[in-house]
Structure 1
Amino acid sequence: MALNGIDISNWQSGINLAVVPCDFVVIKATEGTGYVNPDYERAYRQAKTAGKCLGIYHYASGGNIQAEAEYFLKNAGSRVGEAMLVLDWEGRSNPAFGVNDREWVKAWCNYISTKTSVNPVIYVQQSMMSRLQNIGNYGLWVAQYASMEPIGYQENPWNEGAYACVMRQYSSSGRLSGWNGNLDLNKFYGDRQAWSRYAGKGNQTTSEKPSEEEENQEGTTLDLVFFGRCVENLEMGKNGKAGLEPDMEKCRG
């Protein structure tokens, strides 16, 4: 069982989420410590009324970790426990990207988890997955594209199965009825109940702390929570193809 859905930001302001076909919507809420998506609240209300599975994300600016986490939580408000919480980890306007990825992301997620009893999901491009090795019990939403050609929902996205993830973004050139423009297309590997588990409070699971050797190990393995199970030692990029990994946030805003 899987769900098809989209993620949106200010670039899709005014989109009618009751008309565009999607099982779920992940909406940009905040960026850094000074930006709130002006269409965030309207889009969220409309998606909720339309019965969509809900998610909200924070675009990391790589600044003060606690300040960015608190800013996100302030604007998330009562949506915590109802919407999947997501950290968007990309390179644009983020000096920590490619420098101390694991430390920053882990600290932000740990802070959110401690404050809310919800484990956030991490959005990241496929080539950066190994930098988040042993990150903890935080699911990954992985972006990797076969091309930039316009497409609709795909039952079996390109390179599916090469690595494990909670959710896969396989296009930023998606075309769906009800919106005259590009959309990010995603596949969530679970049903509505599984989505609710990621969104709901108490979704934390306990795992043994990795040894110092495991903490410092580099390679092509990743530990992550996949529907409540710890998936260990997964090979990345089995077919050797890197795929397209454009600056998605630059397109989304």
Structure 2
Amino acid sequence: MPVHRPNPLRPRRLFLAGLLLTALSLALAAPADAATTTPARGSAHMGMGVLAHDGQHGTPAPTAVTQTEGVDVSGYQGNVAWSTLWSSGVRWAYTKATEGTYYTNPSFTQQYNGSYNVGMIRGAYHFATPDTTSGATQANYFVDHGGGWSRDGKTLPGVLDIEWNPYGAACYGKSQSAMVSWIADFLNTYRSRTGRDAVIYTATSWWTDCTGNYGGFAANNPLWIARYASDAGTLPAGWGYYTMWQYTSSGPTVGDHDKFNGALDRVQALANG
């Protein structure tokens, strides 16, 4: 009678199969990597995509033009130490007011009024989400929730923050011509509501990719360029100079620091229209 010996490979195969099943179950149960996780709606802020596309940290090179230090803040920074910023030489500030038509900054009052109360010239910005509602709808939402303007000498015109989509496709699923139309819809509505032309905050690479480097807004809308480097680099088509430049997200007291392309009297002139 033949003798049946156990297969020496069988336990090894079972062991390896068990390892594979364990690894698969762990992979399925593990949370997604933070770098690929979509952030929560409402959490976007100025320059959120710049680190990945336009530099890491800026230290402005010396320039013959006097520039005035500013900051921009949003809800994630909470209560801001405005007196500390004032003492460090910051003279103007922008606060995120709204995003889309679904978010208002819970820290807006402290940030917007706090900067004003220490003597800064301040304004509000709107983080655009062109894939959720029309430009006109978002402009109205912005004006109705802190984005208005008054001729008090200390209030800057509102800003349209139009940049990489943190929640999906970089250009929000829009063609270049459709994006230009959306932006025009926002700007025209903002002007009709406030009497002021809004500032456009953007980065040259995003503007080139998503609007086809459209130059038609440069005549009326001041440019706030985002680039974390020693200079602002090449500007989008139409603009011969920038009005403001966000040069770092790693500045003192609050991360986002900016330069106004002129002395304090030019900041006041923009506030006064």
Task: Tell me the TM-score normalized by structure 2.
Answer: 0.62
The structure with more helix, counted as a fraction of residues: 2
Q: Aligned-pair distance for 1:161?
A: 6.4
- Cα displacement (A) at 1:96: 5.3
- The answer for the alignment partner of 1:139 in structure 2 is 222
User: Partner of 1:76: helix, strand, or coil?
Assistant: coil
CA offset digits 1:152-176 (Å, max 9, x no partner): xxxxxx13464421111111122x2
1:207-240 CA-partner distances (Å, limit 9, x unpaired): xxxxxxxxxxxxxxxxxxxxxxxxxxxxxxxxxx
Cα-Cα RMSD:
2.1
TM alignment of 1:168-187, pairs within 5 A: 168-174=245-251, 176=252, 179=253, 183-187=255-259
Q: Alpha carbons of 1:73 and 1:2: their partners in 2 closer, same or farther (altered >3 Å)?
A: same
Maintained 8 Å contact 1:57/1:87:
yes
The equivalent position to 1:61 in structure 2, one of 119, 124, 129, is 129
2:135 aligned partner, one-letter code = I
Which secondary structure state, in structure 2, belongs to the residue aligned with residue 5 of structure 1? strand
After TM superposition, give the deviation of residue 43 of structure 1 in Å: 1.0
SS in 2 for 1:18: helix
Instruction: Identify the residue that residue 23 of structure 1 maps to in structure 2.
Output: 91
> SS in structure 2 opposite 1:27?
strand
Structure 1: gaps of 5 or more residues: 147-157, 204-253
Matching of residue 124 in structure 1 with residue 124 in structure 2? no
Distance 1:124 1:113 in 2: 19
1:102 and 2:180 correspond: yes
Higher mean alpha-carbon deviation, 78-87 vs 41-50, is at 78-87
Q: Matches of 2:221 and 2:262 in 1, distance apart? A: 16
Which runs of 5 or more structure 2 residues have no equivalent in the other structure? 1-65, 236-240
- TM-score scaled by length of structure 1: 0.67
Residues in 2 aligned to 1:8 and 1:126: alpha-carbon distance in whole angstroms: 21
Counterpart residue number, 2:270: 198
CA distance in 2, matches of 1:25, 1:87: 15
Residue 49 of structure 2 corresponds to: none
Asked if structure 1 preserves the Cα contact closer than 8 Å seen for 2:125 and 2:147, the reply is no
Inter-partner Cα distance in structure 1 for 2:193 and 2:76: 30
Partner of 1:72: 142
By how many angstroms is 1:139 displaced? 0.9
CA distance in 1: counterparts of 2:103 and 2:93, whole angstroms: 20
Q: Which structure's CA Rg is the greater one?
A: 2
Structure 2 residue aligned with 1:7? 72
Cα displacement (A) at 1:192: 2.8
Cα shift at 1:69? 0.8
Amino acid at match of 2:221: Y
Contact 2:97 2:147 in 1 (8 A): no
CA distance in 1, matches of 2:262, 2:80: 25
- The alignment of Structure 1 onto Structure 2 pairs a total of residues equal to 185
- 8 Å Cα contact 2:204/2:234 also seen in 1: no
Letter of the 2:214 partner, please give it. Answer: L
The CA deviation at 1:80 is 3.8
Distance 1:97 1:5 in 2: 32
- Measured after TM superposition, the shift of residue 16 of structure 1 is 1.1
Structure 1 residues 79-90: aligned runs within 5 Å? 79-81=149-151, 82-90=155-163
Q: Equivalents in 1 of 2:128, 2:92: separation in Å?
A: 22
Which one is further off, 61-70 or 72-81? 72-81
The answer on whether the counterparts of 1:102 and 1:133 sit within 8 Å (CA) in structure 2 is no
Mark the CA change 1:115 to 1:78 in structure 2 (over 3 Å): closer, same or farther: closer
Structure that is richer in strand per residue: 1
Please, which moves more after superposition, 25-34 or 85-94? 85-94
Instruction: For 1:96 and 1:138, locate their aligned partners in 2 and report how far apart those are by CA, in whole Å.
Output: 24
